[in-house]
């Protein structure tokens, strides 16, 4: 069953939904049993991250619809802003 972004946003007001965002970079790397995906999108300096069980076909150059929220990640004692993706779909 496909998740509806409107229903997700109604349940959690911290979520943001954006459509037809152009992916300029897509990196996939193993993290234990999971694959960590990092996306950079046109016009945004913050990485979008999500985990899945398997690799995806590269999203570089694709348009995607994403539902996400802002979060902090600590690397080397420094805090960085990231966007945690809860739903992603090609646009």
Q: Which residues contact 89 (CB under 8 A, 6 or more apart)?
A: 64, 65, 66
For the domain 19-90, what is the CATH code?
Answer: 2.40.50.110
Note the pTM of the prediction, 2 decimals.
0.85
Are the C-beta atoms of 50 and 37 separated by less than 8 Å? Answer: yes
| pLDDT tens digits in sequence order for the chain, 91 residues long | 456 766 777 777 789 999 999 999 999 999 999 999 999 999 999 999 999 998 889 999 999 999 999 999 999 999 999 999 999 999 8
């Amino acid at each position: 069953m496909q998740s509806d972004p409107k229903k997700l946003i109604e349940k959690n007001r911290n979520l943001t939904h954006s459509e037809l965002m152009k992916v300029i970079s897509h990196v996939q790397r193993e993290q234990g049993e999971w694959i960590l995906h990092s996306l950079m999108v046109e016009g945004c300096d913050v990485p979008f991250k999500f985990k899945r069980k398997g690799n995806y076909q590269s999203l570089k150059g694709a348009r995607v619809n994403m539902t996400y929220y802002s979060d902090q990640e600590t690397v080397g004692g420094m805090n960085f802003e990231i966007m945690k993706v809860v739903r992603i779909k090609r646009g």
